[in-house]
């Protein structure tokens, strides 16, 4: 019996490793945020989500991926990424006007739902959706290939991982995080979040954590400006770590060895950043201030890709702002349209 493609797509959100960062990554981001948000923000979120359980944010962290595969939520598929039409590994950059199409992108989505979750004219049900989208999209925007148009965000760069054929996007979403942690259960995510929380508070990330919050305006939160900074921050790793020698250098290769060893410090740092920034963003939305007790005077940089735990290292790359390259932009848009706004046959959604 042949199963219709539409039926297969409807099942994808429920398959292991089918979400951006994997279910593991999104749940971990949510748990990190829970570890840092204020008690009043936690109460606000629990009330809006109608969930007072110990995993109140993690329980909805992958809702957006499930919703996008419904007829009602199909419009939101492009909101999970921004296709930066840059030129890695020579140049990595994100330009909102160039890269966020008319259909929307993760930057415009975070801007929109930041406004909606606070709007007095929006129903409680729609505010709940807005909060669930924010929780998910903050995770998405920290995965470097969600901020890159090259080969449809790496989806058409076929690779092998642990002897199994897959693609570059998928191993960043799921294979590498799950290899590191050894699973993708809610307990796995909670434990990983506890470890990363400790690194932020007292470990290898302590010297960088305040810098991660640069660009958040407590008095006038700007979802577009702040999330664009986050997208640029993650996109820089496309040049330094994802394809430092170009796509052809990894195409068709087994990436479980040295490539994995270099990628894991970046993956852990990006998950930590996403959770910490999500906590700050939710605090600003709920109580008008970041509310994270990190002494900013200890730090002298903003979006440094510094020497965090596990040897994340310093990113050395050429970054230049290009003029509009219409040919590259159109090629990226055509590739995305041909591939589909979702992630393709393996089902790993953005």
Known catalytic residue at 65: yes
For the ranges 121-125, 156-160, 305-309, the lowest mean pLDDT is seen at: 305-309
CATH classification at residue 290: 1.10.575.10
Calpha distance 121→110 (Å, rounded): 18
For residue 264, the model assigns a pLDDT of 99
State the pLDDT confidence band at 317, using cuts at 50, 70 and 90.
very low
**Residue from 27, 65, 83, 99 carrying the catalytic annotation:** 65
pLDDT in tens, 189-200: 999 999 999 999
Choosing from 19, 98, 142, 169, the catalytic residue is: 169
Tell me if 5 is assigned to some domain: no
Annotated catalytic residue 142? no
Say what the pTM is.
0.83
In a domain, 194, yes or no: yes
Q: Tell me what pLDDT residue 322 has.
A: 42
What residue numbers bound the domain in which 44 lies? 19-336
Q: Is 167 helix (H, G, I), strand (E, B) or coil?
A: strand
Q: What is the DSSP string of 136-154?
A: HHHHHTTSGGGG--THHHH
Q: Is 19 a catalytic residue?
A: no
- The single-letter DSSP state of residue 218 is S
For 218-261, the pLDDT digits (tens) are 888 899 999 999 999 999 999 999 999 999 999 999 999 999 99
Looking at residue 125, its pLDDT comes to 98
**Residue partners of 224: CB distance under 8 A and separation at least 6:** 96, 107, 108, 110, 111
334 catalytically annotated: no
DSSP sequence for 256-276: TTHHHHHHHHHHHHHHHHHHH
**Residues 247 and 259: beta-carbon distance below 8 Å:** no
| Residue 263 region by backbone torsions, left for phi larger than 0, else alpha for psi between -120 and 50, else beta | alpha
Annotation says 80 is catalytic: yes
**Distance between CA 24 and CA 12 in Å, rounded?**
15
Pair of tokens at residue 44:
């606000």
- What pLDDT, in 10s, does the model give residues 56-108? 999 999 999 999 999 999 999 999 999 999 999 999 999 999 999 999 999 99
The answer to the question of residue 345 being in a domain is no
User: Which listed residue (19, 98, 116, 136) is catalytic?
Assistant: 136
Answer whether 78's CB lies under 8 Å from 343's CB. no
Dihedrals φ, ψ of 76, to 5°?
-85, 0
Q: What is the mean pLDDT of the chain?
A: 85
Res 350 pLDDT > 60 = no
Tell me if residue 21 is catalytic: yes
- 335/65 Cα distance (integer angstroms): 21
Q: Would you call 133 a catalytic residue per the annotation?
A: no
Report if residue 170 sits inside a domain. yes
Q: State the catalytic residue, choosing from 27, 83, 95, 140.
A: 140
| Residue of 44, 63, 68, 281 with catalytic role | 68
Q: Which residues lie across from 166 on neighbouring strands?
A: 159
Secondary structure element (H or E) that encloses residue 66, with its range = helix 63-68
Active site residue 146: yes
Closest CA relative to residue 84, chosen from 304, 342, 274, 325: 325
Q: Which of 19, 98, 116, 146 is catalytic?
A: 146
pLDDT of the residue at 328: 59
Instruction: Using the Cα atoms of residue 269, residue 256, residue 341 and residue 27 in order, give the sign of their dihedral.
Output: negative
Task: Count how many Cα atoms sit within 13 Å of the Cα of residue 13 in the half-sphere of its side chain.
Answer: 19
- Joined together, the tokens standing for residue 338 give 């041909």
pLDDT band of 338, cuts 50, 70, 90: low
**219 within a domain of the structure (yes/no):** yes
Asked if the model's pLDDT at residue 316 lies above 60, the reply is no
Task: Please compute the mean of the pLDDT values over residues 126-155 and round it to a whole number.
Answer: 98
Place 323 in a pLDDT band, splitting at 50, 70 and 90. very low
Residue at 348 is within a domain: no
**H and E: helices and strands count for the chain:** 15, 2
Share of the chain above pLDDT 70, in %: 78
What is the structure's pLDDT at 314?
A: 35
Which range (15-24, 178-187, 268-277, 313-322) has the least confidence? 313-322
d(CA 168, CA 183): 19
Report if residue 1 sits inside a domain. no
The total number of structural domains in the chain stands at: 1
The one catalytic residue among 80, 116, 170, 336: 80
Residue 342 lies in a domain: no
Overall size of the chain counted in residues: 350
User: Among candidates 201, 233, 221, 254, which has minimal Cα distance to 303?
Assistant: 233
In terms of pLDDT, which residue wins out, 99 or 304?
A: 99
């Amino acid at each position: 019996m042949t199963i219709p493609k539409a039926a297969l797509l409807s099942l994808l959100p429920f398959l292991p490793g089918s979400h951006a960062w994997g279910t593991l990554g999104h749940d971990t981001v949510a748990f990190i945020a829970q570890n840092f948000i204020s008690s009043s923000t936690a109460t606000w979120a629990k009330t809006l989500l109608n969930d007072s359980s110990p995993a109140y944010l993690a329980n909805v962290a992958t809702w957006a991926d499930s919703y996008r595969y419904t007829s009602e939520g199909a419009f939101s598929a492009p909101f999970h990424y921004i296709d930066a039409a840059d030129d890695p590994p020579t140049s990595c950059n994100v330009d909102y006007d160039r890269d966020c199409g008319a259909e929307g992108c993760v930057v415009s989505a975070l801007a929109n739902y930041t406004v909606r979750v606070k709007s007095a004219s929006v129903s409680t049900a729609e505010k709940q959706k807005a909060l669930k989208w924010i929780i998910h999209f903050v995770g998405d925007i920290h995965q470097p290939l969600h901020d890159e148009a090259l080969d449809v965000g790496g989806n058409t760069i076929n690779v092998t991982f642990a002897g199994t054929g897959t693609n570059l996007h998928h191993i960043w979403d799921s294979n590498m995080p799950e290899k590191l942690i050894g699973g993708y259960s809610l307990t796995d995510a909670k434990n990983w979040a506890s470890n990363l929380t400790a690194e932020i508070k007292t470990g290898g990330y302590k010297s960088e954590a305040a810098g991660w919050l640069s660009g958040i305006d407590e008095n006038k939160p700007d979802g577009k400006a702040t999330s664009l900074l986050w997208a640029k921050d993650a996109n820089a790793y496309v040049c330094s770590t994802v394809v430092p020698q170009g796509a052809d250098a990894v195409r068709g290769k087994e990436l479980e060895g040295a490539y994995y060893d270099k990628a894991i410090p970046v993956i852990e740092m990006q998950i930590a950043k996403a959770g910490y920034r999500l906590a700050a963003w939710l605090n600003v939305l709920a109580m008008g201030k970041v509310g994270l007790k990190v002494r900013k005077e200890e730090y002298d940089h903003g979006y440094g890709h510094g020497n965090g735990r596990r040897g994340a290292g310093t990113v050395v790359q050429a970054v230049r702002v290009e003029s509009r390259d219409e040919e590259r932009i159109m090629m990226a848009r055509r590739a995305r349209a041909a591939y589909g706004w979702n992630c393709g046959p393996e089902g790993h959604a953005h």
